[in-house]
Structure 1
Amino acid sequence: MGTTQLESVPEPKYWHLKTVLNDALDSEFEVGEILPNERDLAARFGVARATLRQALEQLELEGRLQRRRGVGTTVAPPRMGVAVGPSANSWPGARDAWETVGCVEAVAPAAIAALLGTGPDEAVHTIRRARVMRGQPVAAELLYVPPASVPGLPADLSPAAHAPAVLRELHALELEGEDRAVELGSARADDAKQLDRLPGAPVLVVTSRYYTGGRVAAASVSTYRADTCRLTFGDAGAFEVTHHQQDTRQAS
């Protein structure tokens, strides 16, 4: 990487530095290559480490860099298109790439209880699931199903049979509709561990509601790696986006 004069640039130094670093990632580094440490980079560009850190954090947010446990900061591969909204409505777990990690009965967080319309102390079936693509974890999910939605569950379920039985009963209902909200967030400790990320890393959080009988029958919170995933909606949404196209779109 070459040095650049930042003092006369009217925009924030970290933002201009991010642009310079972004160009260098395209021309001088390979996917998976480890960047020099912060001290060396800051000295090379003549900026404070706080300024450099801001630029690196922005590049991580944009999916150009990854912070890897025990490795350091590496150049990220292009984001993978991950379909989160199939063109035809389907219950979660009906035909998707999620793998069940576990299932418990527990009181849902207040925000989820409000979505489901359950009482503040009412336990719901909580299924934890994981999604893996190209050999790496890309998402973690919590699916919440109130007992009222699956009244036919046997009373003596074993831990291994719990999640399949809940999903089976849920799929027996007629799905009337679903909606989703997407927002940027920070990885909590449990999700970060499951996603092989550092706590606080940028993530995309998708909250979904599933309706039957004029009510919310289930809700899910899916946490996707923001550095790895490009969320698509509908079967025709999984097209490739190059870094050049991303930069053009942001500039328009």
Structure 2
Amino acid sequence: MATTQLEPVQEPKYWHLKTVLQEALDSEFSVGEILPNERDLAARFGVARATLRQALEQLELEGRLQRRRGVGTTVAPPRMGIAVGTTGASEGAWPGSGSESWRTVGCAEAVPPAAVAAVLGTGTDELVHTVRRVRMMQGQSVATELIFVPSGSVPALPALLTPAAHAPAVLRELHAMALESEDRAVELGSARAEDAKQLDRLPGAPVLVVTTRYRTGQGVAAVSVATYRADTCRLTFGETGTVQISHHEQEERREAS
């Protein structure tokens, strides 16, 4: 078979500028500092403003910059290391058990997405209990979560529940069951309108989607779909209980709550 020689691909001008800007952020600016305006930056680096905007947008997607209306473009703080638990059976692994940084914001009966219904083994038009939660870190929302629980998983749930009692009752019934195992998958996605509102992002912003299946002896009892801000979060998996936060050459360690 003949060998095909690939031609070297020239690096786009905005990408090279992004690298230069990144080095400037590391050496000249501190976290929270406001960058000069676009005109001054473009003049400093000798590029068109359109090229500069592309580079700034890429740095924002990577979590290095934050654009805030009425403030300007500022240097973003380091990504937060967020432990998402261990894979496999462990004590208190049901969502809502133990000490967590999640806050429950509502619960309703709704038809789950088709992919979730397939995992749960429910019908395409069958209502399931849907708990919505928000995860807070350092005073800001970093993730939203939907926990889908079919009626068959919580047969002892009272028929009549007030809105305030719905989510606690569903989670309480889950905790009464023996959890055999759990598994997680992580993928890159785009923020839906409702999630974007909770996360203070624009719809379509890049997010990390963590899908967790909770299993008992009877099969999958619940599915969690958690959506994390991709620009601020660094997900960590492991059993050490320690979260490592790193951002370029800056590093610190803190114990996970």
TM-score between the two structures when normalised by the length of structure 2: 0.85
**Equivalent of residue 178 in structure 2, options 162, 170, 174:** 174
**Equivalent of residue 91 in structure 1, options 90, 94, 117:** 94
What letter corresponds to residue 238 of structure 1 in structure 2? V
Determine whether 1:141 maps to 2:145: yes
* Equivalent position of 1:3 in the other structure: none
Q: Structure 1 residues 69, 169: closer, same or farther in 2, change over 3 A? A: farther
Q: Deviations over 1:13-54 (max 9, x none)?
A: 122111111011112222122333445434443334443333
Alignment of 1:109-124 (within 5 A): 109-124=113-128
- Of 55-64 and 39-48, deviating more is 39-48
C-alpha distance in 2 between matches for 1:198 and 1:27: 30
* The structure with more helix, counted as a fraction of residues: 1
Q: Structure 1 residues 156, 214: closer, same or farther in 2, change over 3 A? A: closer
* SS of match in other structure, 1:238: strand
Determine whether 1:31 maps to 2:34: no
Q: Structure 1 residues 111, 49: closer, same or farther in 2, change over 3 A? A: farther
What letter corresponds to residue 13 of structure 2 in structure 1? K
Alignment of 1:50-199 (within 5 A): 50-86=50-86, 88=90, 90-95=93-98, 96-199=100-203
Question: Could you tell me whether the CA contact under 8 Å between 1:140 and 1:191 is conserved in 2?
Answer: yes
* SS of match in other structure, 1:118: coil
Q: Structure 1 residues 31, 92: closer, same or farther in 2, change over 3 A? A: same
C-alpha distance in 2 between matches for 1:195 and 1:59: 19
TM-score between the two structures when normalised by the length of structure 1: 0.86
- Of 156-165 and 179-188, deviating more is 179-188
C-alpha distance in 2 between matches for 1:187 and 1:166: 26
Where do 5+ consecutive residues of structure 2 fail to align? Answer: 1-8, 252-257
C-alpha distance in 1 between matches for 2:205 and 2:72: 14
C-alpha distance in 2 between matches for 1:198 and 1:33: 23
* SS of match in other structure, 1:114: helix
- Of 167-176 and 225-234, deviating more is 225-234
Q: Deviations over 1:49-96 (max 9, x none)?
A: 443333223222322112335544321111111010237351011122
* Equivalent position of 1:242 in the other structure: 247
Q: CA RMSD for the aligned pairs? A: 2.1
* SS of match in other structure, 1:137: strand
Q: Deviations over 1:125-174 (max 9, x none)?
A: 11110011111111111111111100111011100000000000011111
* Equivalent position of 2:208 in the other structure: 204
* SS of match in other structure, 1:112: helix
Deviation at 1:245, TM superposition (A): 7.3
Alignment of 1:1-12 (within 5 A): 10-12=10-12
Determine whether 1:45 maps to 2:45: yes
* SS of match in other structure, 2:60: helix
